Amino acid sequence: MPQTVYWGQLCRGYLVHHPRRQRPGQSSQRVLLITAAQAFKKNSCTVFDLSSQLIPYEEAWQWQRAHVQHMICQLSSSADSDTTRCATSDAILLLQHPPVFTLGSGSTLSNLQFDPADPPAPLFRTERGGEVTAHSPGQLVAYPLLNLRNLQQDLHWYLRSLEEVIIRCLYEVGGVQGTRLLGMTGVWVEDAKIAAIGVRVSKWITYHGLALNVSNDLSFFDHIVPCGLEGKRVTNLSRVIAATGKSTDGYQHASLQDQPTGYDSADMMMRETSQALIASMAEVFNLNIKMSPCKTWTDMKSYAHP
């Protein structure tokens, strides 16, 4: 039976407390564990950071499915290998979407506050888990395409790990304390949901992912019952930081409106959030990050899945 290693610091067989990373709302020691054999072998992962761009939902969805199929083919090719690790082209895609609503595979239409035959924005039913959610500019969307055979073949572990990524990201950007609510998937700040998670796993390859509200127009959520949670509020990072007035990285987020003309505070916050999210992904999933040279969606559409 393999030894276990707990996050905080990768070491065999016991937990090393890392005070800077022990924050309220983080996972129990039991949830975020990784086998000792895996701990010292980082998984290579290519990050496609298009977080400053609006990418049509359907195109990003198609790209994910194509890449997942490529990764599944890689699994088949390595089936006869002597190694216990499966070499796959793991990837993380970061972007924003134009206004769009998405339904999970089992979502009920009763959580729509509009006629599905005449939606105020495009509406898609997808194969991910979870209920209805909304995407719009100012929301950071991350689609991790990871091979869980090299991590933990455990969907519960994966969902809790995505929550951990978000919690660390929030703290890094603005000192915001993200938390979990018992029995619910996602991340909250006090009683308001700031990030939603909905995933699909095929042959232990993950796709779909998480949506973190950064500076998006929250009124767009009025068209739905977000995640099917009646009476629950939503919030975003910009609103939370403005309410606290906390300062980080040398500037005061709550006073971004005082910056010189032409300074786009929303863009700056999105850049910092995407960078923090990448770093958190690398920590939680033990990834060796490689940044893709693709800078536009045109580049991505011509990208040959390696």
Angle between helices 265-285 and 155-174 (to 10 degrees): 140
> What is the token pair recorded at 192?
């308001």
- What tokens does 15 get? 């937990």
Candidate list 45, 86, 169, 227, residue with the active-site label? 227
Are the beta carbons of 165 and 210 closer than 8 angstroms? Answer: yes
| Phi, psi angles (nearest 5°) of residue 159 | -65, -45
132 and 112 Cβ atoms separated by less than 8 Å: yes
Whether the CB-CB separation of 110 and 229 falls below 8 Å is answered with no
Give me the residue label for tokens 């890392």. Answer: 18
227 catalytic, yes or no? yes
Report the alpha-carbon distance of residue 185 to residue 196 in Å, rounded: 7
Note whether 210 and 216 are within 8 A (CB). no
Buried b (16+ CB within 10 A) or exposed e, 32-45: bbbeeebbeeebeb
> What are the tokens at 284?
């939680």
**Is 103 within 8 Å of 123 (Cβ atoms)?**
yes
CA atoms within 13 A on the CB side of 46: 14
Instruction: Catalogue the active-site residues.
Output: 227
